[in-house]
Amino acid sequence: MFLSERVKNIKPSGVRKIFDLARKVQNPINLSIGEPDFDIPDPIKEEGIKWIRAGFNKYTPSGGIMPLRERLLHDLQSMGIICEDVIITAGATGGILLALMVTMDPMDEVIIPDPYFVLYEYQVLLLGGKPVFVDTYPAFTLKEEKLREVITDKTRVILINSPNNPTGIVYSRKEMEMVARVAREKNLLVFSDDVYDRFMYEDGEERVYMGQLYDRTLTIGGFSKTWAMTGWRVGFVAGPKEIIQTMVTMQQYVFSSINSIGQKAALFALDYSTAPLIEGYKRKRDLIYEGLKDKFRVVKPRGAFFIFPEVPDGDGDTFVEKALEKNLFIIPGSIFSRKKSNVRISFAAPEEHVIKGIEILRSMV
């Protein structure tokens, strides 16, 4: 075999495995998906088509087209987010990869609250770093003493995701200020994955961004969730100019440039509100939480479109296998965590599927 050492501990995505299984089954109740169930709005599609026909189909600058970079920088700064420059990336995931590449050396440590989006762990491993996990169970809250316990002289980055995949938790201002205070004291970078920032469901809840609180934050976002542009692969990272400019250079050798049509459509999307579409997710959040709370130990999600209940016997892997037998597709929590006690359920699905899924889940307890 001619495989590199770096891939020997990399496993195929368990999430993708479930997706592939769901595609092979007729009429599954699919509550595994990690993307909005609405399509890209037609005006945004038409904007993309317009630029295809106009011939805007060539390479773009490695940092992204300047009108989109300038608009994002203006919008982020107007929200109070501290940043000097913006790079357009191949989705938020491409942005995280570039950010790690230019800030982390082999054996550096990246602190990740557990549960976490699975990609974080493996991107760190692929680059020779060490993911270090902070247990947030059972309420999925950040505790200062637990964070401080895992910081070493090799710690480089704290990676925050709020609203969170897979739990739906939204970190409070107090928690975010604590992370900023610790990072400032220890001279650490913070990566803030804000890709679900428009998916928040509590009336009047303050939306707090790490980038508003700490100047050594890389703010990571994208167009995949808010505008359902998952396949167009357009994301961004904003932060200190030196880091962003180095990411632009690195992108020349990693992704070359980003989808030209997607960037034009993304610029148009910034003036197109999908808030009415997202509003429907609050009802589905309430449906699934009310439907599960008396049967499962579960924290009410306040954002994103996931719920992360603990299964009664503490074996989420077996629970998912039994759900598959009933044509219900959900994701084992062990994919997102060092523990296997929970399962991730997405309510980014038609309401009738959510209701049917609740019925099946209740019947399994």
192 and 74, same structural domain?
yes
Distance CA 354, CA 103 (A): 41
Domain boundary among 225, 253, 269: 269
Same domain, 212 and 305: no
Q: Is residue 49 part of a domain?
A: no
Which pLDDT belongs to residue 7?
77
The one-letter amino acid at 218: L
Residues 248 and 344 in one domain: no
What does the pLDDT read at residue 19? Answer: 57
Mean pLDDT over all residues of the chain?
A: 95
Q: Is residue 48 part of a domain?
A: no
**Does 53 fall in a domain?**
no
Max CA distance (Å), the chain: 58
CA-to-CA distance for 70 and 72, rounded, in angstroms?
Answer: 6
pTM score > 0.85 for this model?
Answer: yes
The model's pLDDT over 237-287, given as tens digits with 9 standing for 90+, comes to 999 999 999 999 999 999 999 999 999 999 999 999 999 999 999 999 999
Q: CATH number for the domain including 17?
A: 3.90.1150.10
- Same-domain check for residues 98 and 12: no
Q: Are residues 93 and 220 in the same domain?
A: yes
Per the structure, the complete domain to which residue 307 belongs is given by 5-40+274-363
Closest among 199, 139, 189 to 163, alpha carbons compared: 199
Residue 213 is predicted with a pLDDT of 98
At 290-330, the pLDDT tens digits run: 999 999 999 999 999 999 999 999 999 999 999 999 999 99
Question: Is the domain of 261 the same as that of 335?
Answer: no
Percentage of residues of the chain with pLDDT beyond 70: 96
DSSP state of 27: S
Instruction: Clarify whether residues 147 and 196 are in a common domain.
Output: yes
Per-residue model confidence (pLDDT) at position 101:
98
Does 45 fall in a domain?
A: no
Question: How far is it, in rounded angstroms, from Cα 54 to Cα 51?
Answer: 5
Residues 65 and 211 in one domain: yes
Asked if residue 11 has pLDDT above 80, the reply is no
pLDDT tens column, 205-236:
889 999 999 999 999 999 999 999 999 999 99
